[in-house]
């Protein structure tokens, strides 16, 4: 398959089940929404080293938030409900409650499983916290130095998918980055999906295992241009100078598929003349996860 002269490899992206939740963070101004969410989603690129994966799903207008202020929807993914609960409470407590004028609400209301939110943070009020119920939703008002931190009691958890991906192979770093930026721009407006890595792009793709004992992942030597001459299993031709990966977490297969389709279309829009030589995907022969996104089917 070729799109605008760019070869689409006959392979698949391998993804795996994750648990996720959605938070709504609000503040007085967009500047402070950005400050709170940047802190909340920091160091949350990969469960391999960070414990969870998180990013802003989309910005919210005042008419879309519970308190009529500027806000953002943030999705947080973990390998289990227990892991997710631990990281959500810690991050909201340290990164949102500390941010001036902020509040935090459940962005996912329906689900059989719930994890604590304000219910895990209320004790910071030192006995002065107040519980309020509006309909079926319960909130906590925790006194802080600029007023009150309002936080929903709990948030629902749902089953999602992590690890959807595709790799851009290009003739130069500059051209590879331009294609990756275009792909990120096409994916970010889509609902139910996040790109957890910096700027939505991964330069240090990994493979499972390492020559060093105890290291569960190491650099993906098959896609490192500088190792082409010494890596007998290299997957790069001589004309590839740079490779960048996009990793997608989403609510379901449809969201991942839509994100991959939009991203690959944007990355190949300039054609081979823009230096993009091929699009491929990362997998481990189907042994890592049950969700397989075949590039030819995604782009059919």
Condensed to tens digits (0 to 9), the pLDDT of residues 49-74 reads 999 999 999 999 999 999 999 999 99
Structure confidence at residue 145 (pLDDT): 98
Q: Is the pLDDT of residue 287 over 90?
A: no
| Residue 133 to residue 203: CA distance in whole angstroms | 46
Structure confidence at residue 285 (pLDDT): 85
**Rounded average pLDDT over 249-261:** 98
User: What's the pLDDT band for 162 if we cut at 50, 70, 90?
Assistant: very high
Q: Which domains does the chain have, with CATH numbers?
A: 2-14+161-298 (3.30.70.520), 17-158 (3.30.70.520)
Structure confidence at residue 111 (pLDDT): 85
**Contact indicator for 70, 62 with CB cutoff of 8 Å:** yes
User: What's the pLDDT band for 195 if we cut at 50, 70, 90?
Assistant: very high
Structure confidence at residue 137 (pLDDT): 95
CA neighbor of 18 nearest in space, from 242, 167, 194: 194
Q: Is the pLDDT of residue 237 over 90?
A: yes
Structure confidence at residue 208 (pLDDT): 86
pLDDT in tens, 89-139: 999 999 999 999 999 999 999 988 999 999 999 999 999 999 999 999 999
Mean pLDDT of the chain: 97
Only one residue has tokens 């006995």, namely: 127
Per-residue tokens: 201: 């792009």
User: What's the pLDDT band for 286 if we cut at 50, 70, 90?
Assistant: confident
**Rounded average pLDDT over 23-42:** 98
User: What's the pLDDT band for 157 if we cut at 50, 70, 90?
Assistant: very high
Structure confidence at residue 156 (pLDDT): 98
User: What's the pLDDT band for 288 if we cut at 50, 70, 90?
Assistant: confident
Percentage, residues of the chain above pLDDT 70: 100
The conformational region for residue 75 under phi > 0 = left, psi -120 to 50 = alpha, else beta, is: beta
Q: Is the pLDDT of residue 284 over 90?
A: no
**Rounded average pLDDT over 169-198:** 98
The conformational region for residue 147 under phi > 0 = left, psi -120 to 50 = alpha, else beta, is: left
């Amino acid at each position: 398959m070729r799109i605008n002269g760019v070869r689409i490899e006959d392979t698949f992206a391998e993804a795996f089940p994750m648990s996720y939740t959605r938070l709504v963070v609000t503040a007085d101004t967009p500047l402070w929404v950005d400050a709170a969410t940047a802190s909340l989603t920091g160091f949350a690129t990969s469960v391999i080293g960070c414990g969870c994966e998180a990013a802003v799903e989309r910005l919210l207008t005042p008419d879309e938030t519970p308190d009529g202020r500027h806000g953002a929807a943030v999705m947080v993914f973990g390998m289990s409900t227990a892991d997710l609960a631990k990281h959500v409470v810690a991050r909201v407590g340290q990164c949102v409650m500390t941010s001036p004028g902020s509040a935090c609400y459940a962005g996912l209301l329906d689900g059989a499983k719930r994890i604590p939110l304000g219910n895990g943070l209320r004790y910071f009020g030192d006995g002065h916290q107040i519980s309020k119920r509006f309909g079926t939703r319960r909130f906590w008002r925790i006194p802080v130095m600029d007023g009150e931190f309002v936080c929903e009691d709990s948030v629902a958890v749902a089953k999602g998918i992590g690890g959807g991906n595709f790799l851009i192979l290009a003739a130069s770093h500059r051209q590879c980055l331009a294609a990756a930026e275009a792909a990120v721009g096409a994916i970010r407006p889509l609902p139910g999906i996040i790109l957890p890595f910096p700027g939505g792009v991964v330069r240090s793709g990994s493979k499972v295992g390492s020559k060093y004992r105890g290291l569960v992942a190491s650099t993906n030597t098959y896609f490192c241009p500088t190792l082409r001459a010494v890596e007998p299993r290299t997957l790069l031709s001589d004309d590839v100078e740079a490779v960048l990966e996009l990793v997608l977490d989403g609510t379901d297969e449809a969201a991942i598929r839509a994100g991959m389709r939009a991203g690959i279309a944007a990355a190949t829009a300039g054609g081979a003349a823009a230096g993009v030589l091929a699009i491929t995907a990362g997998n481990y022969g189907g042994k890592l996860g049950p969700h397989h996104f075949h590039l030819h089917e995604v782009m059919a």
